[in-house]
Structure 1
């Protein structure tokens, strides 16, 4: 499935092992492999526009909007893992790193190609679950500490990969990098940016 991401494109495969490809407006490409993709069933289109990949103890879903790509992991029970790896295929010169506490992909010239909203996870009652990101080379790991007597399953966790042109536009409006990524930490693709994000997408 191909979907527009503002002025870029996202390719969501029917077989999750092929990875989700995020292509920017300047034709730079980043491929993200989702957790436990080898155990996922083939893609299923949901009524809300998400592309779901059912699994056993956890499952994946991908939602594409004008401002970014939301990669949902649904943790079904306490037997599920607590570490979820996102393997990132980078172009030459790019690196996955922390910048001012945020996860970003940097180009060789130091510019931000893609940024990730802060780690977020909630259980079935809407209670926040402790979670954080780790980076090892080109692998982004979301650690979700869901194994607790008070946890109500399923638990949902979701890195949001923010479109680079939206990120740059919001910087141009005077927002800082941490303000932008924090706004996307609300668990929704639009986060707390509202009209500002809309203006960056539509040019109005």
Structure 2
């Protein structure tokens, strides 16, 4: 939990310093909102653990931070970027289908791991926005570049988001205080700390801020 709190705090501070410029695109602002949402959830979770002296795995509103974060990631793709890079041309059909297949495998694998691991039902709610995010991240990673270069400059960012989805899934299905949980939590913290700077390196290719 602590690495995720630190990582989301870094993202919130960094994004706050960047997002008050006038020319910051909506795509980047939504990414910042994702980090803020994750930070709020992690702060609540930290207070929950501190005040009740328990890391009970039952549902509390702190977990809505993860759900909200991936919904913002999904919104950044669907609402602010995808229409610029995919005009639903028939030549892109293979890329859409491949991304859908990979996202479907991610959803099925995550569901099976949670089912056989006897995970709580509420954890399935986190997987839904993660799957949508995975679909767009994979699609934008494998699609050919377009005239304005939107795809090429964000490929590294898309790799980070795919890694974040995978690490978060491992974090959810792992046993409490296990090596897998600790390692995945550290990886999530690192990814949260770097995703906004990496996204900015791509976005500034088409917006100066």
Same fold (TM over 0.5): no
Structure with greater helix percent: 2
Greater CA radius of gyration, 1 or 2? Answer: 2
TM-score (norm 2): 0.27
TM superposition score normalised by structure 1: 0.27
Counting strand residues as a fraction of each chain, which structure ranks higher? 1
Structure possessing the higher relative contact order (Cα contacts under 8 Å, 6 or more residues apart): 2
